[in-house]
């Protein structure tokens, strides 16, 4: 749901054969709101019903036919994250509860894991996770042109505010890593974190300028960072974009 005032400034366009991109349709000045959106579904950290808010979001989507139809209608990106053995009983329980296959529950879990975005209270304290179909089309960049901020907190609204002047036709981007210190680090540190949390190697302009030659092919880079993560024993997880 694009809130009034934001629809005219951005639109979702096809980026590659499989992915979409949020793009400015008019010039946006630094400090202006590029896009504002209320969530399709939201789950608070305060009262997790199924042990994690990601599972709560899966349950909410399956519980409401209108929400489920809207969710699938957005054709959001799906990244297959490794699933914990401990989560398998919950996967089966939700499949039974909602009369769908365990595979359907897992696909939905992957889609929610790929697209969840944090929402804030008015003091910018993270309150929970939500699905924002339009905001989730904005790609990550290590030199982003926008930053997520609380909108109307009572509505769990999130706005992307321009950090720089943005021209019509430019991609709207933000930093998924929620850590300005991490952004000051080099290509390898940024991307090992992105692969661990989000399962992608960044292709932003900054990364393309900084990538070492042996990692220039994205598939090689993904293999390299996967190997590194396995060696250091980091636990891969479904990303939480906090901004
Ligand atoms: Zn990057």
- What would the DSSP string read from start to end of 163-230? SS-B-TTPBPEE-TT--HHHHTS-HHHHHHHHHHHHS----SHHHHHH--GGG-SHHHHHHHHHHHHH
**What is the DSSP-derived secondary structure letter of residue 117?**
E
Q: Compute the mean pLDDT over every residue in the chain, rounded to the nearest whole number.
A: 89
Say yes or no to pLDDT of 216 above 50.
yes
Say yes or no to pLDDT of 1 above 50.
no
Alpha carbon distance 37, 19 (integer Å): 20
Say yes or no to pLDDT of 4 above 50.
no
Confidence band, pLDDT 50/70/90 cuts, at residue 111: very high
Nearest Cα to 44, choosing from 59, 56, 36, 62? 56
Centre of ligand 1 to C-alpha 210, Å, is: 9
Stretch 138-165: mean pLDDT: 94
Alpha carbon distance 46, 108 (integer Å): 23
Confidence band, pLDDT 50/70/90 cuts, at residue 112: very high
The pTM score is 0.86
Stretch 73-83: mean pLDDT: 85
- What is the domain partition of the chain in residue ranges? 10-38+132-174, 41-116, 180-232
Centre of ligand 1 to C-alpha 141, Å, is: 5
What are the b/e assignments for 90-101, b being 16+ CB within 10 Å?
bbeebbeebeee
Phi, psi of 177 (to 5 degrees): -85, -10
Neighbours of ion ligand 1 (CB under 5 A): 142, 202, 204, 207
Say yes or no to pLDDT of 159 above 70.
yes
In this structure, are residues 24 and 165 in contact, taking their beta carbons and an 8 Å threshold? no
Alpha carbon distance 128, 45 (integer Å): 5
Quick one: what percent of the chain has pLDDT higher than 70?
A: 93
Least confident of 76-90, 94-108, 110-124: 76-90
Alpha carbon distance 238, 52 (integer Å): 11
Say yes or no to pLDDT of 229 above 60.
yes
Centre of ligand 1 to C-alpha 120, Å, is: 25
The dihedral of CA 210, 215, 217, 218: what is its sign?
Answer: negative
Residues 6+ apart with CB under 8 A from 155: 38
Q: Counting Cβ atoms within 10 Å, is residue 16 exposed (0-12), middle (13-18) or buried (19+)? A: exposed
Rounded (to 5) percent helix, strand, coil in the chain: 40, 20, 40
Quick one: what percent of the chain has pLDDT higher than 90?
A: 63
Centre of ligand 1 to C-alpha 100, Å, is: 38
Domain 10-38+132-174 has CATH 1.10.260.40: no
Using DSSP's 3-state secondary structure scheme, residue 59 falls into helix
Give the pLDDT of residue 3.
54
Residues 6+ apart with CB under 8 A from 100: 62
Confidence band, pLDDT 50/70/90 cuts, at residue 182: confident
Centre of ligand 1 to C-alpha 209, Å, is: 9
Give the pLDDT of residue 163.
96
Centre of ligand 1 to C-alpha 110, Å, is: 23
Q: Which has more confidence, 10 or 182?
A: 10
Stretch 20-31: mean pLDDT: 94
Alpha carbon distance 207, 201 (integer Å): 9
């Amino acid at each position: 749901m694009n809130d009034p005032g934001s629809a005219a400034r951005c639109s979702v366009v096809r980026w590659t054969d499989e992915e979409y991109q949020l793009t400015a349709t008019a010039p946006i000045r630094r400090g202006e709101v590029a896009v504002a959106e209320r969530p399709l579904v939201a789950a608070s950290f305060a009262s997790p019903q199924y042990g994690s808010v990601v599972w709560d979001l899966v349950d909410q989507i399956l519980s409401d036919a209108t929400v489920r139809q809207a969710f699938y209608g957005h054709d959001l990106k799906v990244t297959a994250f490794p699933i914990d053995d401990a989560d398998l009983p919950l996967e089966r329980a939700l499949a039974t509860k909602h009369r769908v296959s365990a595979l359907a529950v897992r696909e939905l879990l992957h889609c929610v894991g790929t697209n969840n975005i944090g929402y804030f209270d008015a003091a910018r304290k993270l309150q929970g996770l939500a699905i924002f179909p339009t905001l989730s089309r904005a790609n990550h960049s290590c030199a982003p042109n926008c930053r997520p901020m609380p909108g109307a907190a009572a509505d769990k609204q999130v706005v992307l505010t321009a950090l720089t002047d943005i021209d019509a036709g430019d991609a709207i981007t933000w930093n998924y890593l929620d850590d300005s210190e991490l952004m000051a680090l080099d290509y390898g540190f940024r991307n090992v974190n992105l692969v661990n949390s989000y399962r992608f190697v960044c292709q932003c302009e900054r990364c393309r300028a900084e990538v070492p030659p042996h990692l220039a092919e994205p598939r090689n880079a993904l293999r390299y960072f996967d190997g590194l993560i396995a060696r250091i024993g980091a636990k891969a997880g479904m990303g939480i974009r906090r901004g």
